[in-house]
């Protein structure tokens, strides 16, 4: 089992770093899955995570100049590692002016991801900063716990409003309540609502548009028979929503959410090189 | 000085005004000696050659409160008078400002013993001197919450800084960061090979901030683990010393260089050619220190 990768382009380093910063806001610990072509950051919906789960996928070719991975076995050419993304975020923070960043899986006393940052310096040789991030190797028998979650059978799918606007609304609402209700319909309307003993606040968005999901076996086409005005709602932990929005450092190409009434809200944020799915369960 | 202690010790001497501070656990001490030439007027006092010059200490916060906002001070204050009135038990700080305004602050003080750390930079086995900027750029890679850092020497004259991981902390859970500086980044390097010391980062950052702002090179004098590390800044009118206790090697025989989770032992080479790999593989450290060196006394 071997992993070694290198980034020499500063823009790629910073882009990768921004993605890791987003992940670090969403998960204290997560799984990094390495395959020949892709990297995945996975958070499974355990109780410890408050039931929220995450699936983030990026193509290594868009970031790394060198990428060499040998999985646990020939038929299972993948590596699953458990790590604290905040550590990786901190390590990459030092790479803002780097000439090169090398990442390597090592096992000196315990398995570590060694991030070596080559920094420019006025002296003849470069400065090298290494960060040894402890990781846990996930055995193959547990890989099934981390499969890609399927898109739920949603009631409504809708594009999100401008994330910056949504973020500032949610941040203010967070001061008033611990829970927020997201509701939306198939006419491009979405409401964000909070209600406490003293006050209730609702923010209305309209003309958002509903994404056209291809009906595979006709199951989604039931939307045609549905009332376009009726709202599907779910009450979720406001902090989780705020963390998702606050972690977005760049505007996504597409941002949408799927609501299963009273069950779960499934957020999909798509950028050119990375896709992020985040599931927040509804509070009973 | 306020990063170190809550009390400011003032000691006027013939060679200048010395401002000092020490922390509560007596593991950090700093002194700033301003030469008489630094001041427009300097009268250390003392009626005769046998009279001891008066020493006192004041609350750090009270003293700092007088100089609260530096930018506005620079605009409005023309002169500052510091006057020690032993009989009135007051330290007077008088700011002469624009438009004929005078602000007088009377601070209560306490008499005190002479505060002096016991150290001798001449007897230190190792010495490094670098521009403050280089050290500040090195320290920035460590989180602000990090308590202790280990400064070490490696082959090729390289100097390393590494975050210190306590023995109680699980090595498999803590991230280890290490930075290597080349010898030519320093103005002078005279170190005992294989030496290393571990000291508190907080007070060091404080001094670095001052050194950077004054654009002065910083000299680090150190010896065996357990003996104090002394940081000095020198200027024509200012002499600064920061003395920090260092961790002693408790079990130097059983302690391998890999205690902090970062091994410098050669790695078995694999098929991939890698500059970093061979660089790390070439490093070896030797065991340092023996027995239990005396802890620093203040």
The last residue of one of the domains, among A107, A124, A145, is A145
Residues of A in contact with B182 (CB under 8 A): 121, 123-125, 127
Q: With cut-offs at 50, 70 and 90, classify the pLDDT of residue B274.
A: very low
- Give which of A10, A1, A24 is closest to A86, Cα–Cα: A24
- Is pLDDT larger for residue A124 or for residue A224? A124
- Which of A132, A133, A136, A137 has the highest number of chain B CBs within 10 A, making it the mutation to test binding with B? A132
Scanning every residue of chain B, which has its alpha carbon at the shortest distance from the alpha carbon of A4? B272
List the domain range (segments joined by +) for residue A188.
156-218+225-281
The answer as to whether A199 is a domain residue is yes
CATH 3.40.50.1370 is held by the domain B126-247 = no
- What is the percentage of chain A residues whose pLDDT exceeds 90? 75
The answer as to whether A265 is a domain residue is yes
* Total count of domains within chain A: 2
The answer as to whether A266 is a domain residue is yes
Judged by CB atoms closer than 8 Å, whether chains meet at B171 and A108 is answered as: no
Residue A148: count other Cβ atoms within 10 Å of its Cβ.
11
Antiparallel, parallel or unpaired: β B238-244 and A2-7: unpaired
**pLDDT value at residue B55:** 85
Any idea what the CATH number is for the domain that residue A11 is in? 3.70.10.10
Answer whether residue A117 shows pLDDT above 80: yes
Answer whether residue A25 shows pLDDT above 50: yes
Report whether A113 contacts A105 (CB < 8 A): yes
- CATH architecture for segment(s) B7-111: Box (3.70)
**pLDDT value at residue B253:** 37
**pLDDT value at residue B41:** 93
Judged by CB atoms closer than 8 Å, whether chains meet at B185 and A91 is answered as: no
Q: With cut-offs at 50, 70 and 90, classify the pLDDT of residue B250.
A: low
Alpha-carbon separation of residue B67 from A120, B78, B103, B264 (angstroms): 39, 13, 11, 49
User: Which range is least confidently modeled, B5-9, B43-47, B91-95?
Assistant: B43-47
- Which of A134, A135, A136, A137 has the highest number of chain B CBs within 10 A, making it the mutation to test binding with B? A134
Same domain, A197 and A66: no
- Is pLDDT larger for residue A248 or for residue A165? A165
| Among A104, A116, A132, beta carbon nearest to B176 | A132
The answer as to whether A87 is a domain residue is yes
Q: Is this complex scored with an ipTM above 0.85?
A: no
Please spell the DSSP secondary structure of chain A, one letter per residue: -EEEEEE--HHHHHHHHHHHHHHHHH-SSEEEEE-SSEEEEEE---GGGTT-EEEEEEEGGGT-SEEEEE-SSSTT--EEEEE-HHHHHHHHHTTTT-SEEEEEEEESSSEEEEEEEEE--SSSS-EEEEEEEE-EEPPGGGGGGGPPPPPP--SEEEEPPPHHHHHHHHHHHHTT-SEEEEEE-TTS-EEEEEE-SS-EEEEEE----------SSSSGGGGGGS-SS--EEEEEEHHHHHHHHHT--S--SEEEEEEETTTEEEEEEE-SSEEEEEEEEPP-
Same domain, A273 and A248: yes
Residues of B in contact with A109 (CB under 8 A): 171-172, 258, 261, 263
Antiparallel, parallel or unpaired: β A264-270 and A254-260: antiparallel
Same domain, A184 and A251: yes
Answer whether residue A224 shows pLDDT above 70: no
The last residue of one of the domains, among A145, A167, A184, is A145
Same domain, A120 and A172: no
| Among B171, B180, B272, beta carbon nearest to A110 | B171
Same domain, A104 and A200: no
Judged by CB atoms closer than 8 Å, whether chains meet at A134 and B172 is answered as: yes
Same domain, A127 and A161: no
The answer as to whether A36 is a domain residue is yes
Residues in B 117-176 with any Cβ partner in A closer than 8 A:
138, 140-141, 143, 171-176
Same domain, A58 and A37: yes
Same domain, A193 and A171: yes
Answer whether residue B64 shows pLDDT above 90: yes
- CB-based contacts of A47: which residues, under 8 Å, 6+ apart? none
Rounded to a whole number of angstroms, the distance from the CA of B243 to the nearest CA of chain A is: 27
| Among B138, B177, B182, beta carbon nearest to A123 | B182
Residues of A in contact with B263 (CB under 8 A): 108-109
pLDDT tens, position by position, B212-246: 999 889 999 999 999 999 999 988 999 999 999 99
Q: How much is the mean pLDDT over chain B?
A: 80
Answer whether residue B275 shows pLDDT above 90: no
Alpha carbons B219 and A120: distance in angstroms, whole number:
23
| Among B171, B267, B276, beta carbon nearest to A102 | B276
The answer as to whether A189 is a domain residue is yes
The answer as to whether A151 is a domain residue is no
Please spell the DSSP secondary structure of A49-81, one letter per residue: GTT-EEEEEEEGGGT-SEEEEE-SSSTT--EEE
The answer as to whether A24 is a domain residue is yes
B261 near A CB under 8 A: yes
Judged by CB atoms closer than 8 Å, whether chains meet at B182 and A109 is answered as: no
Same domain, A54 and A25: yes
Domain ranges of chain B: 7-111, 126-247
From chain A, which residues contact B within 8 Å (Cβ)? 2, 4, 68, 84, 87, 90-91, 94, 102, 104, 106, 108-110, 112, 116, 121-125, 127-134
Same domain, A209 and A109: no
Alpha carbons B207 and B286: distance in angstroms, whole number:
30
pLDDT tens, position by position, A252-263: 999 999 999 999
Judged by CB atoms closer than 8 Å, whether chains meet at B172 and A2 is answered as: no
Residues of A in contact with B172 (CB under 8 A): 109-110, 134
Q: With cut-offs at 50, 70 and 90, classify the pLDDT of residue A192.
A: very high
Count CA atoms closer than 13 A to B175's CA, side-chain side.
22
The last residue of one of the domains, among A88, A119, A145, is A145
Same domain, A210 and A130: no
B47 near A CB under 8 A: no
Same domain, A140 and A51: yes
Rounded to a whole number of angstroms, the distance from the CA of A146 to the nearest CA of chain B is: 22
Answer whether residue B93 shows pLDDT above 60: yes
Judged by CB atoms closer than 8 Å, whether chains meet at A68 and B272 is answered as: yes
| Among B179, B261, B279, beta carbon nearest to A129 | B179
User: Which range is least confidently modeled, A59-63, A180-184, B155-159?
Assistant: B155-159
Q: What is the DSSP letter of B193?
A: T
């Amino acid at each position: 089992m071997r992993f070694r990768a290198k980034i020499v382009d500063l823009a790629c380093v910073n882009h990768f770093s921004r993605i890791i910063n987003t992940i670090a806001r969403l998960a204290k610990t997560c799984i990094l899955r390495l395959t020949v072509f892709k990297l995945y950051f996975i958070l499974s919906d355990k109780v410890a995570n408050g039931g929220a789960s995450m699936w983030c996928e990026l193509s290594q070719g868009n970031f790394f100049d060198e990428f060499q991975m040998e999985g646990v076995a020939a038929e299972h050419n993948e590596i699953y590692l458990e790590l604290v993304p905040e550590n990786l975020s901190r390590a990459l923070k030092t790479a803002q002016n780097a000439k090169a960043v090398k990442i390597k899986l090592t096992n000196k006393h315990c398995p570590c991801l060694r991030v070596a940052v080559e920094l420019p310096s006025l002296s003849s040789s470069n400065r090298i900063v290494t960060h040894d991030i402890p990781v846990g190797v996930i055995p193959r028998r547990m890989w099934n716990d981390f499969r890609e979650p399927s898109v739920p059978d949603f009631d409504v799918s809708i594009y999100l409003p401008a994330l910056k606007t949504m973020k500032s609304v949610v941040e203010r609402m967070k001061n008033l309540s611990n829970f927020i209700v997201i509701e939306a319909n198939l006419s491009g309307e979405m409401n964000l609502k909070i209600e406490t003993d003293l006050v209730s606040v609702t923010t209305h968005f309209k003309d958002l548009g509903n994404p056209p999901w291809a009906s595979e076996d006709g199951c989604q086409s039931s939307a045609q028979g549905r009332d376009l005005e009726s709202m599907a709602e779910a009450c979720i932990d406001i902090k989780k929503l705020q963390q998702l929005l606050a972690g977005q450092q760049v505007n996504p190409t597409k941002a949408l959410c799927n609501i299963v009434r009273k069950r779960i809200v499934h957020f999909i944020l798509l950028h050119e090189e990375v896709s992020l799915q985040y599931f927040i369960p509804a509070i009973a | 000085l306020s990063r170190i202690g809550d009390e400011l010790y003032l000691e006027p001497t013939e060679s200048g005004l010395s401002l000092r501070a020490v922390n509560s656990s007596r593991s950090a001490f700093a002194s700033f000696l301003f030469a008489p030439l630094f001041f427009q007027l300097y009268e250390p006092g003392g009626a005769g050659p046998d009279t001891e010059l008066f020493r006192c200490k004041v609350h750090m916060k009270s003293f700092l409160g007088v100089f609260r906002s530096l930018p506005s001070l620079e605009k409005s204050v023309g002169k500052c008078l510091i006057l020690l009135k032993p009989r009135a038990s007051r330290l007077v700080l008088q700011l002469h400002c624009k438009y004929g305004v005078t602000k007088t602050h009377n601070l209560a003080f306490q008499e005190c013993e002479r505060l002096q750390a016991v150290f001798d930079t001449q007897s230190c086995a190792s010495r490094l001197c670098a521009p403050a900027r280089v050290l500040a750029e090195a320290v920035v890679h460590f989180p602000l919450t990090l308590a202790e850092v280990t400064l070490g020497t490696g082959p090729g004259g390289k100097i390393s800084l590494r975050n210190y991981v306590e023995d109680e902390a699980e090595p498999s859970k803590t991230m280890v960061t290490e930075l290597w500086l080349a010898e030519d980044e320093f103005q002078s390097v005279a170190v005992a090979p294989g030496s290393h010391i571990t000291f508190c980062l907080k007070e060091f950052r404080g001094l670095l901030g001052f050194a950077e702002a004054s654009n002065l090179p910083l000299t680090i004098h150190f010896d065996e683990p357990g003996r104090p590390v002394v940081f000095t800044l020198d200027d024509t009118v200012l002499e600064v010393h920061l003395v920090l206790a260092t961790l002693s090697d408790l079990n130097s025989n059983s302690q391998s260089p890999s205690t902090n989770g970062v091994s410098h032992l050669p790695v078995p080479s694999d098929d991939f050619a890698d500059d970093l790999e061979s660089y790390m593989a070439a490093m070896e450290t030797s065991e340092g220190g023996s027995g239990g060196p005396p802890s620093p006394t203040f």
